[in-house]
Chain A
Amino acid sequence: MTVDEAEAVAIPVPFWTRERRVGTGLAVAGLLAAVIFGLLATSQDAKFTLAETISGSALPIPGTLGAVVFGLVAAVTGGAMLAPGARRWFPWLLGVGIVAVILSFLCWQVSQAPVGLNVMPIGNVAHTSLELSLPLILGGLSGVLCERSGVINIAIEGQFLVGAFAAAMAATLAASVWAGIIASALAGLLIAALLAFLAIRYLVDQVVVGIVLNVFALGLTGFLYEQLMAKDAARYNQPSRVPTWQVPGLSDIPVLGPLLFKANVFVYGALALVVLIHLGLFRTRWGLRTRAVGEHPTAADTVGIRVLGLRYRNVLVGGLVAGFGGAYFTLLSTTNFNKGMTSGLGFVALAALIFGRWTPIGVLLAALFFGFANALAFFLGTVSSPIPSQFLNMLPYVATIVAVAGLVGRVRAPAADGKPYVKG
């Protein structure tokens, strides 16, 4: 007889499993939504259209009814999670529940808008979401490259800033957005080189380096802005916007067509990089070695992988990507540089990295989520929402906290992330 054949010990399963807790929370949220949003909503229709504009045909849903029904749907999905055997369906139920709560909320918001404005152009919101998520995708990918090889990159914000600055300046001086984009990537590379040099060569705590580099970037771009751009904007700070390219044929697909195939270099670039880095990380020699170095550098060293060299390389490439992301701010989102214009999005990108579990696809989804939160805040402003705009602006940041707090413990960072590697 061996031990494995001995009888198993009966383990009492605790009643409050994660599924039950989430389910209860969702049910309560759904009921609250049904009551509160139902009471606040007006009898006016809330119209939803897939188009980019608010004119044209739209699906009308009576405000109060919609708010109540969607709230109840959320409550029911929450209740379903409590049922035995619901575990398998948990992700789906959760998704449906969250969407229902959001729809209930939207029914209230859209229905109370002034007549004529009570339409939600979903195509437009999707478009804005994607556009607002672009820097987060690129910043998050930079994080993937660095942190998968074991270097924490808190300097994404700084890389954005110098990227944005360099893009504006180079694009204006050379009268070419492409020069701006190249310059932005190189500027990101510069910060990355400082990060790598200090963190890898001099073993300075990576979080400390990141924090200080952010201040450095803020000061440097601010100084140069004041000294150059503020004095002669026409010469230094008037880049043009990146052009929109249309993929013939594909761009005629409804909703997705204009979204994905009538887009600019940032959309194509970000999506291509997601695919490239995903394949690279999980299918190639480089990726295998990168992940090994981030998880167990000593093991990588013993099979002849140059740990520090690989870390340098990845951090530098990450700098290129984040710098490119910085160009978004001055070549797409606006067409001039301003002091501190990245307003903390580099840190939201960091949150997207964690939320996305250090994977490129995860980063993409997390970034889209934050982009949507932002786009929603933007849209609600146009329907003259009774919620103060400042609170709407908080939305992405609150969402980040909720996401990170609700998720940590269940995501595992690369084991050697943030730890300098010293031989011997």
Chain B
Amino acid sequence: MTEGSPDKNPATAATAAAETLAAAERLPRHAAPTPAEPRSFAARFLRALWSANTVTVTVLAVLLAMIVGGILIITSDPDVRAKYSYFFARPDDALAASWNKVSDAYANLFKGSIVDPLAVRGAINGTLSWERVFFPISETLTYAAPLALTGLAFALALRGGLFNIGVQGQAIMGAIGAALAGFLLPLPVGLHLIVALLAGLLFGALWGYIPGILKARTGAHEVITTIMLNYIALFFLAWLIVQDGVQDPGRTDAISKPVDGSARLPHLLGWLGPSLRVHLGIVLAVLAVWATAWLLSRSSFGFELRAVGLNPEASRTAGMAVTTTYALVMAVAGGLAGLGGSTMVLGPALTLTPAVIGSVGFDGILVGLLGRARPWGVLLAALLFGALQAGGNRMQSFSGISLELVEVIQALIVIFVAAPALVAALFRLRPARAGGIETGMAKGW
């Protein structure tokens, strides 16, 4: 279908729109092209602030998501709901109860993720330990480390034009690899950790390579194959942990032996107190972010990856091996996810269980999207999501709000960030350079 190629127009229109966004995102580094230049710096700053730029949209997206979350809190609480039954008689009753409920929940969210002012005061007075002060931030970083890695796994594939929905499965395989190396291999301190991490990376890379090579060889869409591989990995894990030599001999339930001490990720703040779980994983994550950023901007492979992601046809015409790139991208992404899974099992978990990695893989997808598929953006997104997770724990135990609310809020943040035009319309922002989530192309199956 050379001529009459259907839908050429809409497709190009869509890409054109995406490109305008992309071009607009590049602009801020140069001058802000404002027709009527406001006078003072403050006025200009405010003007820029209230335009639909990336930062403003993200902040407002978080705010909107919290508002929707608040509504959910109110409607799902029977006590508060009861007060709404006589709303017209005494509205302040219902409003006060709603406010108390929501503000209490979100206060706990903050205290559980950043810092609890009471603990700071106590530590200064000497009545409480510094451990309490650093606990929230330690938790946030603990959750953020694997999220950053799985987020990178999704983001890197997206830059290569692939939807890696298989982050979860790759992370599971990574955890398996790391754990097996962690309790099966008798190795000295130091080396053992490195080997375990490498094993996790390799297992994850292998699990990523499968959909990559299937896509390259048969054209099977990675969305389907990666999702299926997630379930296969999960069942494989379930089978593995009840095998002899893997299962904890002292237990009858599905749990593996613990990882040897020599393969564990050392705690960073262990000297302040045993409850500070933050471990070397967060350093690893930052290194991985840096390495990915370097890979994308300075390496030949990164050049190929970006080219293929943006326009596979032109890349092929320029002599690049598009299908090989697909397979490699998926392997590298899988490796990152595997590393993410490894930090879970070598860090806080130490044993394999069916739920060892929780949902870091799926959450990584959201992190990758929220970070707009840029490595440092992914790190920031991972910190935000890690904070939400850590705070959510406290919110659950102190305010009785179940942890799933965090998941809802996270999904809503990404929805709003993905639709900057929607946020701009809701807040009547100046229609400026909002970068939505770029996927490189509007592509079908």
Contact = CB atoms under 8 A, between A and B. Distances in A.
A, B co-complexed: yes
A227 interface: yes
A191 B25 CA distance: 31
Given A215-B411, A226-B402, A354-B224, A344 B231 contact: yes
Contacts of A424: 9, 13
A397 B236 CA distance: 12
Contacts of B11: 419
Contact of A417 (B214, B414, B422, B444): B444
Interface stretch (A6-14, A317-325, A400-408): A400-408
Interface stretch (A44-52, A125-133, A166-174, A206-214): A206-214
A419 B444 contact: yes
Contacts, number: 192
Interface in B1-19: 6-7, 9-11, 13-14, 17
Given A202-B422, A354-B445, A419-B442, A405 B225 contact: yes
A397 B232 contact: yes
A218 B366 CA distance: 13
A132 B7 CA distance: 38
Contacts of A354: 221, 224, 445
Contact of A223 (B9, B239, B408, B445): B408
Nearest to A348: B228
A204 B436 contact: yes
Contacts of B409: 219
Contacts of B421: 202-203
A209 B436 CA distance: 12
Contacts of B376: none
Contacts of B405: 219, 223
A211 B163 CA distance: 10
A227 B77 contact: yes
B419 A400 contact: no
Contacts of B336: none
A396 B295 CA distance: 37
A16 interface: no
A219 B404 contact: yes
B102 interface: no
A212 B214 contact: no
Given A198-B415, A298-B9, A408-B221, A417 B229 contact: no
Interface string B225-239: 101111110011011
A418 interface: yes
B205 interface: no
Contact of B218 (A202, A212, A339, A405): A405
Interface in B195-249: 214, 217-221, 223-225, 227-232, 235-236, 238-239
B179 to A, nearest CB: 17
A297 interface: yes
Given A198-B422, A354-B224, A219 B408 contact: yes
B285 interface: no
B406 to A, nearest CB: 8
Contact of A401 (B13, B214, B443): B214
B379 interface: no
Contacts of B443: 418-419
B418 A198 contact: yes
Contacts of A406: 218
Q: On chain B, which size bracket covers the interface? A: 35 or more
B273 to A, nearest CB: 31
Contact of B239 (A154, A227, A391, A414): A391
Interface string A274-298: 0000000000000000000001111
Contacts of B224: 347, 350-351, 354, 400-401, 404
Nearest to A207: B163
B352 to A, nearest CB: 14
Contact of B411 (A204, A216, A351): A216
Contact of A212 (B13, B228, B414): B414
Contact of A408 (B220, B407, B442): B220
Given A212-B366, A406-B218, A351 B228 contact: yes
A415 interface: yes
Interface string A243-274: 00000000000000000000000000000000
B437 A208 contact: yes
A344 B230 contact: yes
A409 interface: yes
Nearest to B362: A215
A392 B356 CA distance: 22
Nearest to A215: B411
A394 B231 contact: yes
Contacts of A39: none
B418 A393 contact: no
Contact of A226 (B218, B404, B442): B404
Interface in A192-250: 194, 198, 202-205, 207-209, 211-213, 215-216, 218-220, 222-228
Given A212-B366, A390-B235, A420 B14 contact: yes
A115 interface: no
6 contacts: A216-B411, A227-B77, A227-B401, A295-B7, A397-B235, A415-B444
Return the 4 tightest CB-CB contacts between A and B, nearest first.
A219-B407, A226-B402, A222-B404, A390-B239
